[in-house]
Amino acid sequence: MSNVAANRIIMTARDIDRILSRFAYEILERFPDRDNLAVVGIQTGGAHLGRRLVQKLEKLEKRSFSFGILDITLYRDDLALEKDQPIVRKTDISFELNQRDIVLIDDVLYTGRTVRAALDALIDFGRPRRIALAVIVDRGLREFPIRPDFIGKEIQTIPEETVRVRLTEEGEPVDQVVLLKED
């Protein structure tokens, strides 16, 4: 692992928490119709972040918000290209999507293909009034015309690099975002 030295922490747990707090304020400002606001997290990192975001929203507003998790595997456009079969994870959207304002949240925005798949998946569940996109890291290098509405941090990357959002929910010791330079 000669590349370990090159790995760089680009966000700490505190950064992540602050970003989610900021998102909460921005979302409440943007979507005044509280009854129709809902959060959907993309498996797996976005699901954890979404859960945290909903907690913040609920704390601020002292009410509950609908929350769903979405697995986009079945909507991917690259299934046949993958060497290893992706694991199909749980999708759980147990509320009505029609006429709702949906905040779709993911950890990293990269090519835009995941978000494209997520939009298709969401539409199969109903017809939301609006869908907004929140991401902790936007690393650029888009392949699809996708633009986030709420951005934690923008960083410049090259395709050979990997941005990893490590979360305690997945057994990591601390929350952090790291830039891994692959060889």
Contacts with other proteins, residue ranges (CB under 8 A): 71, 73-76, 79-85, 87-92, 120-121, 124-126
Shortest CB 88 distance to other proteins, Å: 4
Peptide bond into 44 cis (omega under 30): yes
Shortest CB 125 distance to other proteins, Å: 7
Report which of 52, 148, 42 is spatially closest to residue 105, judged by C-alpha positions: 42
Structure tokens that stand for 60 in this block: 């601020």
Report which of 68, 148, 167 is spatially closest to residue 109, judged by C-alpha positions: 148
Three-state DSSP class for residue 128: coil
Three-state DSSP class for residue 33: coil
Residue 98 or 168 with smaller CB distance to other proteins: 98
Shortest CB 85 distance to other proteins, Å: 4
Q: Are 49 and 103 in contact (CB under 8 A)?
A: no
Radius of gyration over every alpha carbon of the chain, rounded to an integer in angstroms: 16
Q: Are 120 and 114 in contact (CB under 8 A)?
A: no
Shortest CB 120 distance to other proteins, Å: 7
Residue 4 or 87 with smaller CB distance to other proteins: 87
Shortest CB 98 distance to other proteins, Å: 10
Report which of 148, 153, 83 is spatially closest to residue 114, judged by C-alpha positions: 148
Residue 5 or 80 with smaller CB distance to other proteins: 80
Residue 43 or 157 with smaller CB distance to other proteins: 43
Residue 79 or 174 with smaller CB distance to other proteins: 79
